[in-house]
Amino acid sequence: MYVSERVASISSDIGTNDIGWFAARQPAVVRFLEDRLGGAERHPTWDLLAVGLDAAHALTGMFERQHGVPPARISAGLLERAEEAALGEIQRGEPAHALHQPALAEWVAALLADPPRPLDPDETHVLGVALVTVVYALDALTSGRSMP
């Protein structure tokens, strides 16, 4: 079941007081984002990681609101498979995540078009891949659908 536009629109402003719960509940997602978006050599201000954590937290909240329960813990292996699917989708130019989760595809696109802080093109790309990866993993986890 995909996340509805209504749920996506009311869930985009989730309180930051729940970020600790998110980190405890989804440690593999936090490690994945730290690896892809953090690191002083790539992004010296750590702002990109903060944007990614906030967005992943919001995405998880959207799935929780749609399904009525928090998503199960996402494994590192599922994130690796989701990232392979996301990168393959980008290389082929086929937005399969938009077919599976259209409201979330729009939400991610809107975030990338108007991020909370300015992003250069490389940061926008890296953040987009990371967020599509999280959407794929959440979709596979909650729907049982396989990734493209």
Q: What is the pLDDT of residues 2-42, one digit of tens each?
A: 565 665 555 555 554 578 888 999 999 999 999 999 865 66
Residue 125 included in any domain: yes
Inter-CA distances, 51 with 66, 90, 137, Å: 23, 21, 19
Containing structural domain, residue 80: 5-143
Residue 90 included in any domain: yes
Residue 114 pLDDT exceeds 90: yes
Higher pLDDT, 105 or 95: 105
Longest CA–CA separation in the chain, Å: 40
Residue 30 included in any domain: yes
Domain count, the chain: 1
Residue 148 included in any domain: no
Q: Which of 53, 25, 21 is nearest to 37 (CA)?
A: 53
Q: At 70, phi and psi to the nearest 5? A: -65, 145
**For 69-73, 134-138, 142-146, which range has the lowest pLDDT when averaged over its residues?**
142-146
Predicted confidence band of residue 54 (pLDDT cuts 50, 70, 90): very high
Residue 94 pLDDT exceeds 90: no
CB 85 within 8 Å of CB 131: no
Task: Give the chain's length.
Answer: 148
Residue 104 included in any domain: yes
Q: What is the pTM of this model?
A: 0.85
Q: Which of 89, 84, 82 is nearest to 140 (CA)?
A: 82
CB 26 within 8 Å of CB 64: no
